[in-house]
């Protein structure tokens, strides 16, 4: 176990990658982050998400992050077919919480920045300055096909997102502006009320390609890394911070992990095998191919022999790098992520409500004991 003196007095923010996306009957087997038919006690409902937000609030954790989907999901299990609206959910949660940061998601090709600016300014007022926005350029063709909107090529998607953010920030900080770009034209743009947060609510982005990282470095405040090892995380963090520094900016770094914490590593690994045995590998393949923008045959060439199978197993075990083991092992893994430069971790679980409460009781105190987090001030 690491000592407090070895960790200093830094504060690792914690929160949930919330179950606002997933699958529920009749669309498919109940699921959230696991692409598996193994039992998962997680409801993709507002009531369930409210309970999670209230646990975060009581425990002094910081972030309630919501993804959003638009299409038909993946594979026979129709993984990620169910999706709450992250803006409406944010408004409702803001009225029943007081401290947690609430983050919505927008697909830039599906919304106009002027409309999002007004929605965001209102949400920032409702939450008293606790709202943020995750920028998604788009990656699942099913989301676009359902709405009859073409999925642009990769680099163009990020050019559109850059223009979207420029216009969004102008609405939040400027009155009566004109803007002429490739994708948006604004005449005497204004948005009142302005957001509570100055100069504007924080922006998040998870694009890991060079274009995605450059978008974050230029415009956003938080970068999500999904790198699978602490060493790879360290490299991505160093890269994004160097890119941001070149623009005279600073960016904080987050990651998201699936945690399966049991009393012993043996118990946890036994459960892993159960989840994998019931995995929807066709859905995992569709999901990974959509996320990567290429087929797994191409990925095999890039990753090496045997790596595709491991990639699919990882996908079945949750979107985000899995942390599996005893409370001591989970604490150590989270500490290593902080050592690699991570400022905050969003967690998911097989049984969300029950295991989040156990995480608060078993893992958070350990992180505080080793100095990875500071206790909540009363």
Weakest mean pLDDT among 89-93, 204-208, 224-228:
224-228
pLDDT at 285 over 60: yes
Q: Binning pLDDT at 50, 70 and 90, where does residue 294 land?
A: low
Contact 13/59 with Cβ under 8 angstroms?
no
pLDDT, tens digit (0-9, with 9 covering 90-100), for 142-192: 888 888 998 899 899 999 999 999 999 999 999 999 999 999 999 999 999
CA angle 351, 355, 357 (to 5 degrees): 135
CB neighbours of residue 375 within 10 Å: 11
Q: What is the DSSP string of 13-40?
A: EEEEE-TTEEB-TTTSS-BSS--BSS--
pLDDT at 272 over 90: yes
Q: What pLDDT was estimated at residue 138? A: 86
Q: Residue range 317-334: average pLDDT?
A: 92
Cβ neighbours of residue 1 under 8 Å, at least 6 residues apart? 328, 331, 332, 370
Which residue in 206, 320, 313 sits closest to 258, CA to CA? Answer: 320
How far apart are the C-alpha atoms of 49 and 92, rounded to whole Å? Answer: 10
Residue, of 263 and 140, whose pLDDT is higher: 263
pLDDT at 306 over 60: no
Could you tell me what percent of the chain has a pLDDT over 90?
A: 75
Give the residue ranges of DSSP H helices in the chain. 4-7, 46-59, 86-94, 113-126, 141-147, 154-173, 210-219, 230-246, 265-277, 281-292, 296-303, 307-316, 327-339, 352-362, 364-369
How far apart are the C-alpha atoms of 365 and 331, rounded to whole Å? Answer: 10
How far apart are the C-alpha atoms of 65 and 15, rounded to whole Å? Answer: 7
pLDDT at 304 over 80: no
Weakest mean pLDDT among 99-113, 123-137, 296-310:
296-310
pLDDT, tens digit (0-9, with 9 covering 90-100), for 72-113: 888 888 889 999 999 999 999 999 999 999 999 999 999 999
pLDDT at 364 over 90: yes
Which residue in 106, 137, 141, 108 sits closest to 290, CA to CA? Answer: 141
Looking up tokens 């890119």 gives 243
Cβ neighbours of residue 311 under 8 Å, at least 6 residues apart? 288, 296, 299, 303
CB neighbours of residue 148 within 10 Å: 6
Summary mean pLDDT of the chain: 91
3 state SS of 295: coil
pLDDT, tens digit (0-9, with 9 covering 90-100), for 2-59: 444 344 578 999 999 999 999 888 888 889 999 999 999 989 999 999 999 999 999 9
Could you tell me what percent of the chain has a pLDDT over 70?
A: 93
Domains and CATH numbers, the chain: 4-369 (3.20.20.30)
């Amino acid at each position: 176990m690491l000592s407090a003196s070895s960790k200093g007095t830094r504060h690792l923010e914690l929160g949930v990658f919330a179950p606002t996306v997933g699958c529920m009957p009749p669309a498919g087997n109940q699921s959230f982050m696991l692409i598996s038919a193994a039992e998962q006690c997680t409801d993709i409902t507002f009531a369930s998400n409210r309970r999670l937000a209230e646990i975060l609030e009581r425990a002094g954790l910081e972030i309630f992050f919501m993804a959003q989907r638009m299409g038909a999901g993946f594979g026979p299990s129709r993984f990620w077919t169910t999706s709450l609206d992250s803006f409406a959910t944010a408004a409702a949660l803001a009225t029943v919480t007081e401290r947690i940061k609430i983050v919505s998601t927008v697909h830039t090709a599906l919304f106009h920045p002027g409309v999002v600016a007004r929605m965001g300014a209102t949400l920032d007022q409702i939450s008293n300055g606790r709202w943020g926005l995750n920028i998604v350029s788009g990656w699942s063709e099913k989301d676009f096909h359902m709405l009859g909107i073409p999925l642009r090529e990769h680099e163009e998607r990020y050019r559109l997102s850059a223009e979207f953010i420029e216009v969004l920030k102008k609405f939040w900080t400027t009155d009566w502006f004109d803007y002429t770009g490739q994708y948006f034209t604004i005449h005497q743009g204004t948005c009142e009320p302005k957001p509570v947060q100055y100069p504007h609510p924080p922006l998040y982005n998870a694009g890991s390609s060079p274009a995605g990282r450059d978008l974050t470095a230029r415009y956003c405040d938080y970068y999500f890394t999904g790198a699978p090892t602490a060493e790879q995380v360290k490299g991505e963090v160093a890269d994004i911070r160097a890119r941001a520094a070149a623009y005279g900016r600073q960016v904080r770094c987050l990651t998201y992990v699936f945690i399966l914490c049991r009393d012993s590593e043996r118990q946890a690994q036994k459960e892993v095998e159960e989840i994998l045995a019931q995995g929807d590998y066709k859905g995992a393949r569709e999901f990974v191919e959509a996320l990567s923008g290429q087929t797994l045959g191409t990925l095999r060439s890039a990753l090496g022999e045997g790596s595709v199978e491991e990639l699919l197993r990882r996908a079945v075990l949750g979107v985000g790098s899995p942390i599996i083991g005893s409370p001591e092992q989970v604490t150590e893994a989270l500490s290593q992520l902080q050592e690699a430069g991570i400022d905050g971790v969003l967690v998911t679980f097989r049984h969300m409500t029950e295991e989040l409460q156990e995480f608060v009781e078993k893992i958070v105190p350990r992180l505080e004991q080793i100095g990875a987090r500071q206790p909540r001030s009363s």
